[in-house]
A and B are shown apart, each in its own frame.
Chain A
Amino acid sequence: MKKSFKYIGALTLVLAAATGCNEKNFLKQDNPNQITDATFWKDESSVSAALGATYSPLRSSLYGYWGSFQGIQDINALGDDVFTLPGEEPGTWAVGTFSNDENNGDLSSIFSNTYKCIHRANLLLSKIGDVNMPDDKKKLYMAEAKFLRGLSYYLLASNWGGVPLRTTPLETTDGYATPCSTKEQVWQQVVSDLTDAQAGLPVKRDAKEQGRVTSGAAIAYLGKAYMFMEDYQKAEATFDLLFKSPYAYDLVDNYEDNFTDKNEFNIESVFEWTFAPIGDQYGAWSTESPNSPMYNYLPQFIGPPAGGGWFKYVPSNYLVKEFVKEKRPDGSDTKFDKRMYASLMWKYSKLGETDVTWYDGKTFDQLWNSALSKTVRLYPDVALDTTTNGRFLIKKGTSAWRSVANADNYWGPTPSTANYRVMRFAEILLLRAEAAAQNGNNGKAITDIGRIRQRAGLKVKTAADLPGKAELLAEIDHQKLLELFFEQNRVYDIRRWNKNATQMSTILKAHEKQGANVFQAKHFVFPIPGDELKSNPKATQNDLWK
């Protein structure tokens, strides 16, 4: 018995010894899949990676603002220049017809992606100080990060108004609650970030950095921000910077060069969202993974089925009417505004010209017939006018120009890689013209409008044609509708120009905008997403949506 106890005693000791050794090491398990924050920020390569990551969310394929689906689609659906086909994405339909609520998934996704860009910019700005790299390089990166943050706040201010303002990254789980700032405070942040960015960014990028932002883009967005803020003096002065050295922006001769991959980064281009044949072309719905595609999926959403598209939009009756209203002078090589040929497809012979084909030989009838059955969904809500001027399809944004069969289909051989022109000089001209008209500088406005009309092949208007502010603004309205059709512009312009809900509603009804009947003051902005309100105790819904 005694012996046994000794034995047990010894065993217990052995057990105790075994337990003590290396338990600490045994329980320390490091993540083999990812490096940690502690070792990441070491040199310029990490800052460069962090900056790439900051660009990413705004374009993340099919979700981000310029990813084609939720950004470009939803904002375009809000304009009076297109009809949206019902029975496609319910989220887009709700946004486009003013029936969205705070739980709308599209808007929540755009909101969230925009803030991802802001977080990553904030993170870069807070970490770069301790990174081992030259100071002048640091300044360049910081300016670029500030541009992206400023651009993000610009998107938030112009779509949501007052939103939570965050200028430092949240690095612990505390302090996540932040109230919504006022719309004015958000605009101030935009101005501050873009001003800093303008000062620190280069005028030009060499071939290796092509696609990254330049100081011209910062100026353009700064000017546009002033337009939203209705500070027309500052806006005009800001835009003026782009008309002189070191900048040499001008219009390209061929309007369509702005929508194809033939003449990217041209003199008209101020900021392009770049696409390239990289990644898994079929992985369009994958957003941020190593193999996520870098293709441009916009054509998929617009084109007619015979061209491989999903055909979710048709030109509105109003747009077509505005396009055919003013013909080119007699003797011109085309009957209508040059821009109409790049923006729309129709049966040319119906309007007295020679028929052409698209998508490697598809006639308009073939294209239309492939889309016809789907147009039944528009009724009875919308009376698509196919008799007054005939039938029209959207060309701008599709790959119809490529002369490739099935070109719009992302499951086709090669989806589009045409860069998306986010800001081009034509818009600067029209914005400066508007600011100048507001400031009484009519001559400047007439000149700027003239450049647009001339490129479109229209007769240049003189002071006699446009004697006062009202005429100028009307012409700018008309030109912007045609020039920037389906370029995520229309809804912002009509919101800026018609601040009263009744006035807006009247215009929308007149232009047969879908959902015009239910338009209310709250539809000037998007509601703060429910997901934000549920998780951010300090945030409150926009007063218009309460």
Chain B
Amino acid sequence: MLFRHAGKYPNSRVLAQMLKVMKLAAFLLLVLAMQVSATGYSQKLTLNMHNVSLSKVFKEIRKQTGYTFFYNTEMLEQADKVSVAVVQADLEYVLGKCLSNKKLNYSIVDNTIILSVKAKDQTEEAAQPVANISVFGKITDAVTHEPLTGASVKLKGTTKGASSDAKGNYTLELPENGGVLVVSFIGYETVEKTVSQAGALDIAMKPKAVQTEELVVVGYGTQKRKDITGAVSSVKVSSISANVSRNISSAIQGRVPGVSVESSSGAPGAGMIITIRGMSTLGNNAPLYIVDGVFVSNIDGVSPNDVESIEVLKDAATASIYGSRAANGVVIVTTKGGRKETAPKLEIDSWFGVQSVPRRMSLLNSEQWTKLMSANITGIPAYTSQTPNTNWQDAIFRQATITRTNVNFSGGSQNFTYNLSGGYLKENGTIINTNYSAANFRVKSEYNKGRLRVGETVIIKRGINRNNPGGGDQVHSIVGSALMMPATVPVYDPTQPLGGYGRRPTFMKNLSNPIARLENIDNTVKDLSLLANAFVEVKLIEGLKYKFNVGLTEGQSNSRVFTGPFDDGNAANPLPDLSQSTSTSNSWLVENTLNYNKKLGKHSIDALIGYTAQKNMTTGFSASRDDLPIGTSVLGAGLATSQKNDGSASTSSIVSRFGRIMYSYDSRYLFSASVRRDGSSRFAQDYQYGSFPSFSAGWNVHNEHFFSGISNIVNTLKFRGSWGVLGNQEIGNYLTQNSITSGLNYVQGGVLWPGATASAYASPLDLSWEETKITNVGMDAGFLDNKLFVIFDVFNKKTTGVLLSVPFPLSVGKTGSPTLNAGVIQNKGYEISLEYNDRKGDLNYRLGFNLSHTANEMTAINVGSGRQEFGGISRAKVGSPIGSFFLIKTDGIFNSKEEVAAHSKDGKPIQPNAQPGDIRYVDFNNDGIIDNQDEQNLGSPFPNVNLGLSANLSWRGFDMSLFLEAVTGNKIYNARRKWMDKMNEVTNFSTDVLNAWTPENHSNFPRFTLTDPNNNNRDNSDRWLEDGSYLRFKRLEIGYTMPKSLTGKWGIDKVRVFASGENLFTITKYKGYNPDIGGAPLSRGMDNSWDVYPLSRTLLFGLNLTF
């Protein structure tokens, strides 16, 4: 009792004396027990061992000296690993070095080294001589050289210490023989310095590297990176420029091997399409998204500033805990929380930028167009100096501003942590009259006391999006119309009624004036989304925790399309029309989990069981009226007889049980198994349940004894393997219910005859899950103090019973196509990621590289066609990648009638209608005619290789990050170019047509012909197929953090200014606006002129402030 009490006051005289006595006693005891001989061992040792256990060092000493060791294994268990590098050193020196920080003493008796446990630390401390030396100096940040205030400096093994003052200065008295100084500060790596003399000692502290004991979020918990046995990629927010990304998916684009993130559109507010390890189904390939434990349909509702980490679960071992919804992989987003015992911190991020469409299609101007058309058809009005020369692309595109501000407030006490944030984004689109604005608010807090832990996340987001109103004529979008409309048509023509818009003359194709539509159709969608999650966790006994988690989501979307009075030259709308619609979706999720973890010696067990239920509901309705009196803007003002309304609702539910056990032995052998059983309302009774098991194993080779020899070169080496089954239930609701369709109307007796019947297909009752089996083998390796880290994975992913909406024969006469378990798709591939972290003087840098390859194949189709293929130009056919392009191959241009005649079979010309200047097609099936039977597989929309290269550098106050991405080997069908090059309608054309074949100019561009008897413009030829490879400088960001000496005076902890550029340049042969166009499995790589909104280049300037 007295002793324990005394420990608190080591400097008291009573205690010091007492300890002196004890020390003496111990010394005598030792002398009595063993014969001490401290000299006479002149044998020299050479060792070079890094981070190895003591037993390994002893083994080596024994080898070199012949001395044996006498110790109890339990003693060594408590000892940390050691590093020792000596050349021709004395045994005592080596032993001293090895045991300097350990709780062990040694003595040498003959040829035996005897280890003993040191007496309590206090004992030693008290024994320190009283004489003091003084050490002083400055503690600074090694990177920024800013002084660190409040850093702790302690003498190791004692409570003696000091902390640095506002200028980073410290002073500390040490015993005469010096000691080890331990300098620590939150967020920095702890520094230890051996001090033997008085004087100045400045200390530079390294900010903590990210990789130290990395925790990775896995389903229903976290796991240490070193214990992971599956394929998980983790993106920490510190390694991405999240604050300049407009959405999360764009922030992870190209950074995770095997994960493809593509822009669906350059429209303001548009999300991205994420695909993990290739297309495994013909329907929905979106991964399962989870935000702070809540299942959501889209992660773009979370502001990128709020993200702590994003984990991508790619293989069955990690994803199968999510069972029936995990076949396309799982993306887990964890938002930022507060930190315990940190002072309140306020961060403000704000930036402003401009964006524009970097590329223009080269089109004919008025003079070129008139000249070309007049040479080929009669009746084209002559070109004069009065003829308008409209650049329609310039008319619709603009340079647009974009700005975002985000505020984050966080902190924590012993038991409570919090993090609040709010932000606002305003983005103007690169097409006039399109824009997006969003406001977001988030709270996350956690309270922890005793056995209890409770916490919650609430995210609210409000978005307002004015959309591109879309085409006007039947084929073109706004962008398409701008490309098709000849330059001779003016944008405005005051002589025209209803808005004064320029109209195409009737001899042209029926095109709409895109400006008229952009200016008069206001298509605005307002949405509000709410995500709330709360949990209670109770520690039942040591190691066993019960967690109850409730998640709620609520989404509302209100759309309003107001069409003003205008005439776009194709259709007139004399009075305004209005249509409005609302949809709401909500879901609840309840999860009960029990988690048990226990360490028994070298055995470590982590077990989980859970039971969850989830329900999703959506409802929607819409209403519209036409002919509102000018000046009014609500439905009630419209013509009552024109009113229309509609509504629908749907509900789905899912119940799941799951269990997982993770076991590791000595951090060397890792094993995990999980199973989930899901029941889903989407399937018919008796077919609602499915089970999804997985197994995985890992081997941390670097922890093996035999590995010590090279452990200084290879610091980490782990092999992983996993197998498991995952499901996919992403189909519509109620598919197996044979429904009656109404609205199939006719007229009798002059009044409506409402018709209804079973006109559509129902899926068969045994419709079931799509099953994906994934086998994954991987390796993690760290070299050179883990500065170089390599992760490599090989996988084989086979999906059976692919849920597919199978086209049935037209002659069945039903509408739509039933969803069936239709086929087998295989994805095989590998992924590699390399990262190198190092510093040279003040320069800190990180280089990251990732590469992935996925080979996709439709291996079987079990239903539907005997011809085994689905789709049109882009097709799923057995033996080919999904979406392969099946087209007729072109083979140059006929330059003469002789060449036309020479392209023959059995003396008959293969293309009898061809003229010189027409395209020569390859008669693939060799039947003497060119028809659709000559289509062949001419490439896939999937890249062979995806690459990402990123770098982060910092030097003093400057930082820079850059990111490049590349894909190779994919093809794009440029349907937009088809419209510009085909020359069989009276529209504008690309300037390429100026080089069209003529008898004088034998170019490789076919002749001008409106009638096109040779079908040069056929859709299904590779004339429109292009190489989609590209290399893009995706992002460059340069920042400067002002010296704290300056900003501190202003009361600001940190001031950083930065400039950033996105999509700075793209190297590609692709002729469209941008080569990354994504698309559904059967329309992938199809660059249709429909609603594709080109991607923009963005330049931003911003400021980060921390208080």
Contacts and interface: CB of A to CB of B under 8 A. Distances in A.
Contacts of A243: none
Contact of A33 (B648, B654, B870, B984): B648
B748 A209 contact: yes
Contact of B650 (A33, A176, A373): A33
B1015 A99 contact: yes
A535 B807 contact: yes
A536 B748 contact: no
A529 B872 CA distance: 13
Nearest to B611: A19
A38 B809 contact: no
Interface stretch (B129-137, B328-336, B551-559, B810-818): B810-818
Interface in B733-769: 733-734, 737-759, 761-764
B31 interface: no
A30 interface: yes
A482 interface: no
A7 B969 CA distance: 60
Interface stretch (A112-120, A195-203, A429-437): A112-120
Nearest to B646: A290
A267 B931 CA distance: 49
Nearest to A97: B1011
Contacts of B706: none
A276 B734 CA distance: 35
Contact of A294 (B510, B743, B745, B820): B745
A305 B508 CA distance: 13
A387 to B, nearest CB: 15
A455 B546 CA distance: 94
User: Of B611, B738, B758, B809, which is in contact with the most chain A CB atoms at under 10 Å from its CB?
Assistant: B809
Contact of B681 (A8, A29, A49): A29
A211 B611 contact: no
Given A31-B739, A52-B753, A166-B813, A173 B820 contact: yes
A276 B752 CA distance: 8
B746 A59 contact: yes
A177 B808 CA distance: 9
Contacts of B112: none
B844 to A, nearest CB: 49
Interface stretch (A222-230, A334-342, A374-382, A504-512): A374-382
B814 A119 contact: yes
Contacts, number: 301
A481 to B, nearest CB: 26
Contacts of A166: 811-813
Interface stretch (A101-109, A396-404, A462-470): A101-109
Interface in A411-448: 411
Nearest to B913: A518
A56 B745 contact: yes
Contact of A376 (B379, B759, B806, B1020): B379
A138 to B, nearest CB: 16
Contacts of A48: 753
Interface string A1-45: 100110110011001001100011011111111111110100000
Nearest to B610: A15
B749 A209 contact: yes
User: Of B506, B646, B1015, which is in contact with the most chain A CB atoms at under 10 Å from its CB?
Assistant: B506
Classify chain A: how many residues form its interface, as a range. Answer: 35 or more
A7 B755 CA distance: 62
A53 B813 CA distance: 12
B932 interface: yes
A438 to B, nearest CB: 33
Interface in B372-394: 377-380
Contacts of B1010: 86-87, 377
User: Of B657, B737, B1020, which is in contact with the most chain A CB atoms at under 10 Å from its CB?
Assistant: B737
B838 interface: no
Contacts of B506: 305, 311, 370-371, 373-374
A53 B755 contact: yes
B642 A276 contact: no
Nearest to A60: B744
B685 interface: yes
Interface in A247-262: none
Given A53-B744, A59-B746, A87 B985 contact: yes
B752 A111 contact: no
A529 B509 contact: no
Given A27-B655, A274-B747, A537-B865, A123 B758 contact: yes
B690 interface: no
A190 B756 CA distance: 25
Contacts of B870: 534
B1013 interface: yes
Nearest to A50: B757
A32 B620 CA distance: 12
Contacts of B986: 87, 377
B680 interface: yes
Contacts of B739: 31, 33-37
B61 to A, nearest CB: 44
B761 A173 contact: yes
A278 B377 contact: no
User: Of A122, A166, A290, which is in contact with the most chain B CB atoms at under 10 Å from its CB?
Assistant: A290
Contacts of B573: 411
Interface string A275-287: 1101110100100
A56 B681 contact: no
A27 B679 contact: yes
B657 A19 contact: yes
A217 interface: no
A292 interface: yes
Contacts of A380: 377, 1011
Given A37-B738, A86-B1011, A173-B761, A535 B865 contact: yes
A54 interface: yes
Contact of A164 (B611, B743, B811, B1011): B811
Contacts of A530: 932
A532 interface: yes
A5 B750 CA distance: 78
B182 to A, nearest CB: 38
A349 interface: no
A67 B607 CA distance: 66
A163 B649 contact: no
Nearest to A47: B757
B571 interface: yes
B817 to A, nearest CB: 9
A266 interface: no
B184 interface: no
B811 A373 contact: no
Interface in B595-624: 611, 613, 615
A280 B642 contact: yes
A55 interface: yes
Interface string B1059-1088: 000000000000000000000000000000
A29 B741 CA distance: 19
Interface in B843-864: 863-864
A211 B509 CA distance: 37
A124 to B, nearest CB: 7
Contacts of B681: 26-29
Given A18-B611, A33-B650, A210 B745 contact: no
Contacts of A40: 740, 756-758
A35 B867 CA distance: 35
A521 interface: no
Interface string B643-663: 010101111111101000000
Contacts of B571: 411
A288 interface: yes
B866 interface: yes
A15 B815 CA distance: 45
28 contacts: A27-B680, A27-B681, A29-B652, A33-B648, A35-B740, A49-B757, A51-B755, A56-B744, A87-B1010, A99-B1013, A102-B932, A112-B813, A116-B813, A117-B813, A119-B813, A170-B814, A176-B808, A209-B749, A211-B749, A278-B745, A278-B747, A290-B742, A292-B745, A294-B752, A376-B380, A518-B913, A532-B810, A534-B869
